[in-house]
Amino acid sequence: DQQVKQNSPSLSVQEGRISILNCDYTNSMFDYFLWYKKYPAEGPTFLISISSIKDKNEDGRFTVFLNKSAKHLSLHIVPSQPGDSAVYFCALQTGANNLFFGTGTRLTVIP
Amino acid sequence: GAGVSQTPSNKVTEKGKYVELRCDPISGHTALYWYRQSLGQGPEFLIYFQGTGAADDSGLPNDRFFAVRPEGSVSTLKIQRTERGDSAVYLCASSPPDGYSGANVLTFGAGSRLTVL
């Protein structure tokens, strides 16, 4: 039973444009929603998070939006840069510790 | 060290063999996690340690998998009688002591890629 879904396995965006990565979930019990970025041969690195009581959190070029009624999470990157090319995972936290990861979206930013 | 260190980075073994994967977390991080990432999938939770004890081992797929953290720092994931389906990247992560409730930001190692022939 896949609780967290990233339906787009890949996304290509022109440098300078906006990248929008999406994540859908089925369980309403998640407390925090996180995005991780992964480069080849490296572990995932934390990018940004949002609490379930908020609907938006911004950090520089990265903004995360949460729509609880639709059980939908998105990450906006603007402007996109070639160094943003990586696999992005959403990760949903229930309780204090456990994270459930999505399947990932590979973002390619074209110079 | 500054980050989470995992050894070996690559391990090739034959079906039925025993394998140990090691994780050295960030100094001072009391929480340690093991995840498994299969091809085309996201990381899947295996086990979580708080100090020396396994606080949650609900993700271990079967009794061939076992993990220890005897002194509350380095952890070893042990896989007995390996099967081809065990082939994956095994990721270790750590996080600092719970000073407050909030997003659980994990720092991951680069992973150990296990291939079972």
Which residues in chain B come in under a pLDDT of 70?
1, 98-101
Question: pLDDT tens digits, residue range A42-88?
Answer: 999 999 999 999 999 999 999 999 999 999 999 999 999 999 999 99
Q: In what order do the strands lie in the sheet with B75-79?
A: B5-7, B19-24, B75-79, B65-68
Task: Say yes or no for a CB contact (<8 Å) between A43 and B91.
Answer: yes
Which of A43, A102, A104 is nearest residue B110 as measured by Cβ atoms? A43
CB-based contact A57:A47 (threshold 8 Å): no
In this predicted model, what pLDDT tens digit does every residue of B1-18 receive, in sequence order? Answer: 579 999 999 999 999 999
CB contact under 8 A, B110 and A32: no
The answer to whether A97 and B55 are in contact (CB under 8 A) is yes
Rounded Cα distance, B38 and B6, in Å: 17
Best A8, A34, A51, A99 residue to mutate vs chain B (most B CBs within 10 Å): A99
Q: What pLDDT was estimated at residue A2?
A: 66
